[in-house]
A and B are shown apart, each in its own frame.
Chain A
Amino acid sequence: MELLTYLPEVFSGVNLVILILGTVVGLLLGAMPGVSPTMAVALLIPFTFQMDATSGLILLGVIYASTVAGGAVSAILVNIPGAPANIATILDGHPMAKSGRATEALHYCFISSGIGGVLGVLVLIFFTPPLAELALRFGPSELFWVAILGVTVIGSLGSASVLKGLIAGAFGIWISLIGFNPILGTERFVFTSHLQGGVSIVPALIGLFAIPQVLYMVESAWRGQSGEEFRMESRSIWRSVRYNLSRVRTLTLGSVVGAIVGLIPGAGGQIAGLLAYDQSKKFSKNPENYGKGEADGVISSESANNAMVGSSLVPMLSLGIPGSPTAAVLLGGLLIQGLFPGPDLFSQHGQVVWTFLGALLAAQILLMVFGLYISSLSRYVIRIPRQYMAGAVAVLAIFGTYSVQHSYSDVLVMLVLGTGMYFAMRYGFGPGPVVLGIILGPIAEENLLQGLIIAPALDGPVPYFFTGTINIVLISLCLVSVGYSIYSELKIRSRRRAAQSAEASGK
């Protein structure tokens, strides 16, 4: 087993220092609202020039894993997701925190991240060749259905009214199409040069979540609730570990969904958490608790996020096809070091690759340990007076947005979207569906158009989009997902009505 042969390499000298520092720095960066994993990895690439290939890769891989996990801290405590991956964590993590269970939520988040992460890396180590083949089979028609499957999640995204959620989602998809037609390259909807780059995911994510939160914070500061919005309870880690491990089904579901979604080429990885959350809600006995502080929501979303990290590297290492935007950036780091993906990578650069995989595995465990430690420190974050917090979040949002592409237009887009979102939120529209739309819109359009170009060369569009094993599986999943959403919505309503009439007759 090569992994064991190279394991000592992971814990020797420089590599160990990079591993530990990388995990801590990554967790802290990820925890900061406005700092996304893709940006952190991209900005750290120049650092790896001075390192040898192994250390450089370890740094990037560790930062990738730990920023994804760290993003949950700001999601739970401040209601701002650190990355698109953490959107689902907010839905139950923040309500948990508000009801005085912040420490508990953070514990679940890091334990699940660790477990999901380890599983993801194990998938990467043991199943790379067959899974890489599977990843290659996702063509335009399959990816189009993946995007549609993503849209069906909107019903679970926590809007009180599903219809408003869908409208917000459609709006998100539409604004993601501003800029250029991906196939023809023609400009559309660009009425100011600031919109030429379109609405990209990270600026939109920051704006839609952080700016409304800033406005909510100043409001509560003004009303005199300057201090903590909620208290953090003290809770023994072991209790959390015991409970978390008892949720075997949720953990498995989250990790498996995360690992599968991570394989899908392109932006798939970003919706891993949401898909897992949605599945877990649908399989749950009490779906009405989701969105109100259900621990399973946090567990499924976070285990999926980190399982996605390992599996998104499967097609990247074996075929050079990244499974997520961050994996794409990581690929750049690999190429610069003269390491070229493919079967050769493992045979010719075995030492580098196996040490890297060992380090990734170690990083998942380290981030669980450090994460749990950080959870207990988080009480100090809560104590920061709201008016300071609001200013700091506003400023970090600007820096974080600018740093992604060094574009001030992105900052303006972020501010406009965020301010608009604040008003829309007061009318019952959530930011979650909008971001989901922005993620899925370009995937859906590009693959639909490519499919329509390819289809005439085969048997025409209908057979192209509606036959083939993966297509049929995905379409059935979409149908089941929609059907089940409607069924459970009706069930919850009738249960609520029954409760109301019982109450009325009791009076």
Chain B
Amino acid sequence: MINLMKRYLMGLLAVPVVFGLSALGAVQADFPQRPLTVMIPYTAGGASDFQARIVTIPAEDVLGQPVAIINRPGAGGQVGWNQVVQSFGTDGHELAGYNVPHFIAQSIMHDTHYNKDNLEPIANWGADPAVLIVSRDSQFDTLEDLVEYAKANPGRVTVSGAGQFVGHHIATLQLERAAGIELRYVPTSGGVDAMRFVQGGQSMAGFNNLSDAYRARDRLKILAIADVQRDEEFLPDVPTLKERGFDVDDSSVNFRGVMAPKGVPEDRLEMLSEAFVKMFNDDRSKRRMSAGGSPLRVMNRAETREMWERQQVALEELFEGMEAN
């Protein structure tokens, strides 16, 4: 019996001894002293994920440390972004990707822990407008066909998109208001699924990312683009909603970039912003982004902050009087 006790004790003794050591505290050194992580709140293989992986390839040359992409998907990004403000360290090593309008819209409509004020933008790499798509063999050939049909059959046109209160949803709402029609929005768990719904005929139409639609362009008809100007690089023939007489602005454009939780020292934010802008402008990332039909739009900290503020105002106006369910 004594032997038995001894063995339990031996096993457990080690625990408090080593735990005592943990009070000694950590040491500070130059920044960045270890690899950075960028958390993407969407699944691996999605557009946000693979673009983030592409634009951070030059990290080792620019920062001296690699950047690792971590995926923490769930609830259209809410799971990951909540964790940014709740559990991320503020030493500048733990960063996250953002999608505007998604996170701003969610912070307005849902009870989220994050909002534009407790997050710090670092740099923006891309702007992916929403485009209106139908499948190759759809009865609609033009935007007008679709609007006319929707007018005659209110609530019968289903439109798929990557989730609730993401760019695609906002574009749908804007089109409904501008054209005076009633559409039926079908939220899916991501851009890939939303695209599947359109291709498989589960939904009659869909709003999706320009980049994804561009790559699938031979299996789709791209009817319109929800931006203030045409995309001259990838889809020069696709009209904007605005030029066809529907007053839809660029609130639904999906901006992607990198941010940090509030509390990271100012000098580190500046340094990171500079480094990330350099990374995003690197030839290697540019070439790969362009091959995938992903429009680049590089913005530094100040420009990104301004874009956030602008979107906040536009979205608050759009959601005025809407219920979050």
Contacts and interface: CB of A to CB of B under 8 A. Distances in A.
Interface stretch (A67-75, A325-333, A419-427): A325-333
A240 interface: no
Nearest to B113: A193
Interface-central residue, A184, A340, A453, A457, by most chain B CB under 10 Å: A457
Contacts of B288: 336, 338
Contact of A457 (B158, B189, B197): B158
A406 B202 contact: no
A428 interface: no
Given A180-B74, A406-B72, A457 B156 contact: yes
A454 B71 contact: no
A344 to B, nearest CB: 7
Given A338-B292, A450-B186, A454-B186, A136 B200 contact: yes
B65 interface: no
Interface string B205-220: 0000000100110110
A193 B83 CA distance: 9
Given A319-B199, A344-B218, A329 B164 contact: no
B275 interface: no
Contacts of B324: 186
B215 A320 contact: yes
B252 to A, nearest CB: 17
Interface string A302-339: 00000000000000000111100100111110011010
A136 B199 contact: yes
A453 B324 CA distance: 17
A328 B44 contact: yes
B75 A185 contact: yes
A139 B201 CA distance: 8
Contacts of A450: 186-188
Chain B at the A interface: SS class: mixed
Interface string A176-192: 00011111111100000
Nearest to B153: A457
B196 to A, nearest CB: 5
A320 B72 contact: no
Interface in B60-74: 66, 68, 70-72, 74
24 contacts: A42-B71, A45-B44, A136-B200, A138-B200, A179-B75, A179-B79, A180-B74, A183-B164, A185-B163, A186-B324, A186-B325, A196-B74, A198-B79, A322-B192, A325-B43, A330-B45, A331-B45, A335-B292, A336-B50, A341-B215, A342-B215, A406-B37, A406-B39, A453-B184
Interface of A: 42, 45-46, 49, 136-140, 179-187, 193, 196-198, 265, 319-322, 325, 328-332, 335-336, 338, 340-344, 405-407, 446, 450, 453-454, 456-457
Interface of B: 37, 39, 43-46, 49-50, 53-54, 57, 66, 68, 70-72, 74-76, 78-79, 82-83, 86-87, 106, 110-111, 155-158, 163-165, 184-189, 192-193, 195-197, 199-204, 212, 215-216, 218-219, 288, 291-292, 324-325
